[in-house]
Amino acid sequence: MNFFEKLKTGLSKTRENFTERIEELIGGSVELDDDFLEELEMLLIAGDVGMKTTEKIMQALHKAIVKREITKPEEVMPFLKKFIVQLLQNAGQRMHLSGHPSVVLVVGVNGVGKTTTIGKLSNYYRLMGYKVMIAAGDTFRAAAAEQLKIWGARAQVEVIAHGEGADPAAVVFDGVKAAIARNMGILFIDTAGRLHNKSNLMKELDKMHRVIQREIPEAPHETLLVLDATTGQNAISQAKVFLETAKVTGVVLTKLDGTAKGGVVIAIKEELGLDVKWIGVGEGMMDFRPFQPEEFVEALFSEK
């Protein structure tokens, strides 16, 4: 199965919950009346697109109807598709990797897929020709470093780790030093995902930043927030806490396979002002790709 097929299969529940219900509405309507518009609005909200985004889409649709650019229900689907691609389209999706090394901090609450994402990213960039290293900054959870080492071995990338309970900032320090000494292109830093309260999270991230910036003042070059698509709107509230404490530069949206809440991709951009840079559609190394709006929308709106 190629990635597009995987994405399409992964999004099948989201399609049932979102696209197919909109298609049903369109198929059962003759007119673009208030009932139709109200129903469509409900379906967008139920599809985890987010309130703000739904409003924006509905306003644009209304305008198109008033201007008679759209006159029939069956014209609504192509309109939505185009509009959503436009919403997701932007220039900020590329990773900033101009450092020597570039430091990429990976944050998020527990279980969202941080460690897996670092494994996948390491492999991706190694295949692109980068020299990659990983620092196991999650010293809190038992076996976290072991899990990372397994991923490191699979991705053929070295992992800098200390024992359980060690100071994460000390691991980060060693990681940064080693990455500089060995002329690495990218250093990925894993972090603990236990449910932080805000002040603890802030303290821990501050400390890591200080350690990193002592060696590389402009780092971290990227702070990726990992969000789990299966949690839908909860992912949005989680993200807000991180946005208040860390300078997040992009989102990795994991577990798009098998969730009905894939519409959250659209909400992330509009509600949080963040770009989804990567998506995960499975547990394997290759189930991962830069987010491409057109491909995503194509998979979301494709026929079975």
Nearer to Mg ion, 109 or 216 (CB): 109
Nearer to ligand GTP, 73 or 113 (CB): 113
Main-chain dihedrals φ then ψ at residue 235, nearest 5 degrees: -60, -35
Helix (H, G, I), strand (E, B) or coil at 38: helix
> Which residue's CB atom is positioned nearest to ligand GTP?
193
> Which residue's CB atom is positioned nearest to Mg ion?
115
Structure tokens at 79: 């309109």
191: contact with Mg ion by CB under 5 A: no
Nearer to ligand GTP, 50 or 108 (CB): 108
DSSP codes, 205-239: HHHHHHHHHHH-TT--SEEEEEEEGGGTHHHHHHH
Nearer to ligand GTP, 81 or 141 (CB): 141
263 binds, among Mg ion, ligand GTP, none (CB under 5 to 8 A by kind): none
Which region among 39-47, 68-76, 107-115, 275-283 touches Mg ion (by CB under 5 A)? Answer: 107-115
Which region among 11-19, 114-122, 274-282, 286-294 touches Mg ion (by CB under 5 A)? Answer: 114-122
Separation CA 298–CA 154 (nearest Å): 31
> Residue 249 CB, nearest distance to ligand GTP (Å)?
18
115: contact with Mg ion by CB under 5 A: yes
Main-chain dihedrals φ then ψ at residue 6, nearest 5 degrees: -60, -45
117: contact with Mg ion by CB under 5 A: no
Residues that bind ligand GTP (CB under 6 A): 108, 110-116, 138, 141, 144, 193, 254-255, 257, 280-283, 287
Which region among 90-98, 109-117, 174-182, 234-242 touches Mg ion (by CB under 5 A)? Answer: 109-117
Nearer to Mg ion, 40 or 248 (CB): 248
What is the side-by-side order of every strand in the sheet holding 250-254? 158-160, 132-137, 186-191, 102-107, 222-228, 250-254, 276-280, 288-290
* CA angle at 276 for the pair 271 and 277, rounded to the nearest 5°: 160
What residues have CB less than 8 Å from 34, skipping those under 6 apart? none
Nearer to ligand GTP, 231 or 249 (CB): 231
Main-chain dihedrals φ then ψ at residue 29, nearest 5 degrees: -115, 145
Helices 51-66, 264-272: axis angle to 10 degrees equals 90
Binding site for Mg ion (CB under 5 A): 114-115
